[in-house]
């Protein structure tokens, strides 16, 4: 299990290796909708998905045919609300469970 870094910066990106594959995650705050969005890119797996709304508990990588990787989701340390701008990175964390951890849990 990994906790990936987040920051309350309206536009930021970083690269992370998840189960041996390099992913680029690009985060953007949309003030009109008061929501965070993420783009997910992995050249090795031919993934380039744009504009995924960050919703607490939702598997960002799920339903995209990415059976080689695990579970990536935003978690709320104080409940189950969707993220705001100010507490992004403090109250909300990005959790990654590896493929082996997902398989061991049977999820």
Mean pLDDT of 57-85: 89
DSSP annotation string for 31-90: TTTTEEEEEEEEGGGTEEEEEEE--TT-BTTTTTT-TTS-EEEEEETTSSPPP-STTBTT
| pLDDT reported for residue 29 | 97
Whole-structure pTM value: 0.90
Query: In whole angstroms, what separates CA 5 from the centre of its chain?
Result: 10
Please give the mean pLDDT across all residues of the chain: 92
| pLDDT reported for residue 102 | 87
Domain ranges of the chain: 2-105
């Amino acid at each position: 299990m990994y906790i990936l870094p987040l920051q309350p910066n309206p536009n930021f990106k970083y690269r992370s290796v998840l189960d041996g594959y390099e992913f680029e995650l690009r985060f953007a705050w949309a003030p009109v909708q008061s929501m965070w969005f993420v783009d997910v890119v992995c050249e090795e797996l031919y993934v380039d998905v744009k504009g995924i709304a960050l919703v607490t508990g939702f598997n960002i990588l799920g339903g995209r045919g990415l059976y080689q990787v695990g579970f990536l989701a935003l978690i709320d340390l104080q409940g189950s609300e969707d993220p705001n701008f100010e507490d992004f990175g403090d109250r909300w964390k990005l959790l990654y469970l590896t493929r082996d951890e997902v398989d061991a849990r049977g999820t």
